[in-house]
Structure 1
Amino acid sequence: MFKVFSDMSLGAVVAGFIAVLIGFASSVAIVFQAADVAGATESMKISWIMALGLGMGATCFFLSWWYKAPVITAWSTPGAALLATSLTDATYGEAIGVFMFAGALALILGLSGLFDKLMRWIPLPIACAMLVGVLFNFGVAIFTSMEADALIVGVMFAVYLVAKRIIPRYAVVLVLIAGILLVLLQPHVDFSSIPLQVGHFEWVTPEWNTSLILGVGVPLFIVTLTSQNIPGVAVMRANNYQTPVSNLMSWTGITTLLLAPFGGFAFNLAAITAAICSGKECHSDPGKRYIAGMSAGVFYWLAGAAGATVVGIFAVFPAEMIAALAGIALLGTIGANLKAAVEDESVREAALVTFLTTVSGVSFFGVASAFWGICFGLIVLSVQKIGRSK
């Protein structure tokens, strides 16, 4: 633990905070929609937030500490969106059974070691191109948000440009501070309605409905794998972290199994928030960026324990400020991965196809575009290799 204290830095701690802020604020509404469709009461919703916060906190903190890499986990936002449209005829207990089944599939895939082998088949330029496709709209959101709120986003972007020139290590930190100050100066900001409430667990015994398990549980596993875990591994590989990903998937599967009865519907590797904690803006030394993962774990614990209070605080910040903060924090990652994707001319066209497919948002058979981006990129690469071999 002495090494942890000596490796600690403000940039890494703030990166962890930003990851949690963006992770919660950007998609907690979708989680609540899924909870509503599943038939959750208000107390059950608080249990969901506590289970998700503590689960993500434990996996981020301990996995980052153990592997000395910024391992960032998240709830499955696409999974929550799937649940919000697929659980209309399920009882709450049957929904819990679906969560546990999807977690069990993740655990089995992790223990089998197949996920590691799958990721070794994907060339780095293809993985980088897919990651750029996943993050592309976050970069664009800086300027679409600026159109909606020119003052806050414009000042944040100006602070970033100046700080990047003078003190680049703390550029994102200063952007966060500027954004918070600008929000607090707005006359309509009201903190009085935020509830002061500590979270609590509420156990619900799972019920097993075969048609729901196959019709919702399998798609939940596939969506989480293709849209969260594969991009999450791409982030790690793009930043040269060779953490054994099958082990990570096993731990997220175990966490889902343990916390599903309390509302922890799906845990997985993060992509967007992981990119924030893995880049140079977090720390110039890749060996010390694991502090960002541990910090994210602590902030997730606090968020989960505070329950409704934290959700209320996040709701105060405008969507434009959150979107701009995410985009600015990811600019360096987008640039670095774009360079890595197109640098090798022999793989450039395949990487371009991967990027275009991913950024298009297409979904075949309910499987996310990140998965198809990799598939189409590998097909192009394979055809080109056949042509070159003749």
Structure 2
Amino acid sequence: MLRILNDASLSAVVAGFVAVLIGFASSVAIVFQAAQSAGADASIIVSWIMALGFGMGVTCFFLSLWYRSPVITAWSTPGAALLATSLGSISYSEAIGVFVFSGVLVLLTGLSGLFDKIMRLVPLPIACAMLAGVLFKFGLSIFDSMMSDVFLVGVMLITYLVSKRLIPRYAVLFVLASGVVFVLTRSDAHLLSNIPFNLGTPVWVWPEWNISALIGIGLPLYIVTMTAQNIPGVAVMRSSGYHTPVSPLLSWTGFTSIVLAPLGGFAFNLAAITAAICAGDECHKDPKRRYIAGLSAGVFYVLAGLAGTSVVALFSIFPATMISALAGIALLGTIGMNLKTAMMEDTNREAALVTFLVTVSGVSFGGIASAFWGIVFGAICLLVSNIKKK
């Protein structure tokens, strides 16, 4: 406890809070759609939010504490999108069975150690190029949002540029504060009073097994979680200098998915976007003290889960343009650093560029996300280049 207090910093705590804010606000609507597709009523949807918040909070906190690095977990956003379009034909109990099955596959992947070995074979420039491609759209979202709300985003961007010059460690904090103040000053003064402040109740539902659903939905859920979430998540850690063993992290996220699936915890995985916020220089200059952001995110995730509907209502106050701009601004430094690392060496530059372009393109073959194919195409390009030289 004494070491945690000594390592704690306001910038790291803010980074954890921003990660939770962006993680919830940017995709909670997709989780709602997935739950409704499964046939969930209002009480069960609240149970989903509670299970997801608790699962992410516990894994963030204890994994970050154990490995002394910012290990940030998240729900599977592409997994939620998949479920929103796939669960309509099965019962809710069978949907729970799908969640458990996918969690078992992730757990087995972690226990086997195979994923860790594969990721060690990926050259750092390729991994950085893939991560830059994943994050690139968030950088663009700053100016896409400016088209819709030029004054709000303009204030946030100017705040970032000034605070980055004067007090860089707290730049994201001032950006967040400026956005909140701007939204509240131009909105109804009684906006906050309309938010319900109550705790939700978890709803446990036992799984049922439908072989067709396990293969047709559970297996794709596992694949998109691994390719679109865990691969970029590992790339974030590697590009930030953290060589935390991946297999135990996957094992714990898979185990958490199995345990919390009956409550609505459909899929947990390593985060990429929010992890980049907690692993960058803006969090703390000393990489050894950035694990505080993981502890902070864990606490805020648990609080968000316990608050249930109150948190969802609170996040709904902030416009989508503010959330998009905040995410993009918070990730500017990470995008630039990864592009620099990816393109630094002449020998790897072309392969890294191919990786970046394929990832940005969003191509999907066989239902597998572009992040995976970016690495595949980049590795092939690098292999051919090395053969030609020899």
Q: TM-score over 0.5 for the alignment?
A: yes
1:344 counterpart = 2:335: no
The residue that corresponds to 2:167 in the other structure is: 167
1:115-152 deviations in whole A, cap 9, x for unaligned? 11010010000000000000001001111111111111
Structure 1 residue 173 displacement after superposition = 0.9
Structure 1 residue 325 displacement after superposition = 0.5
1:106 counterpart = 2:106: yes
2:274 aligned counterpart, secondary structure: helix
Q: TM-score, normalised by structure 1?
A: 0.99
Q: Distance in 1 between matches of 2:186 and 2:50?
A: 30
The residue that corresponds to 1:52 in the other structure is: 52
1:278 counterpart = 2:304: no
Structure 1 residue 196 displacement after superposition = 1.7
Q: Distance in 2 between matches of 1:109 and 1:167?
A: 43
Paired letter, 1:265: F
Q: Distance in 2 between matches of 1:70 and 1:250?
A: 17
Structure 1 residue 199 displacement after superposition = 2.0
Q: Distance in 2 between matches of 1:164 and 1:194?
A: 34
Aligned residues: 389
The residue that corresponds to 2:83 in the other structure is: 83
The residue that corresponds to 2:240 in the other structure is: 239
Structure 1 residue 186 displacement after superposition = 1.3
The residue that corresponds to 1:311 in the other structure is: 312
The residue that corresponds to 2:38 in the other structure is: 38
The residue that corresponds to 1:7 in the other structure is: 7
RMSD, matched Cα? 0.7
Structure 1 residue 192 displacement after superposition = 3.5
1:235-384 equivalences under 5 Å are 235-384=236-385
Q: Distance in 1 between matches of 2:264 and 2:166?
A: 45
1:207 aligned counterpart, secondary structure: coil
Q: Distance in 2 between matches of 1:247 and 1:187?
A: 46
1:71 aligned counterpart, secondary structure: coil
Structure 1 residue 194 displacement after superposition = 1.9
Off by >6 Å, runs of 4+ in structure 1: none
1:154 aligned counterpart, secondary structure: helix
Q: Distance in 1 between matches of 2:110 and 2:2?
A: 31
1:316 aligned counterpart, secondary structure: coil
The residue that corresponds to 1:96 in the other structure is: 96
Q: Distance in 1 between matches of 2:357 and 2:47?
A: 39
Structure 1 residue 206 displacement after superposition = 0.1
Q: Distance in 2 between matches of 1:31 and 1:59?
A: 19
Q: TM-score, normalised by structure 2?
A: 0.99
Structure 1's unaligned 5+ residue stretches are none
Structure 1 residue 187 displacement after superposition = 2.8
1:144 counterpart = 2:139: no
Paired letter, 1:21: L
1:129 counterpart = 2:129: yes
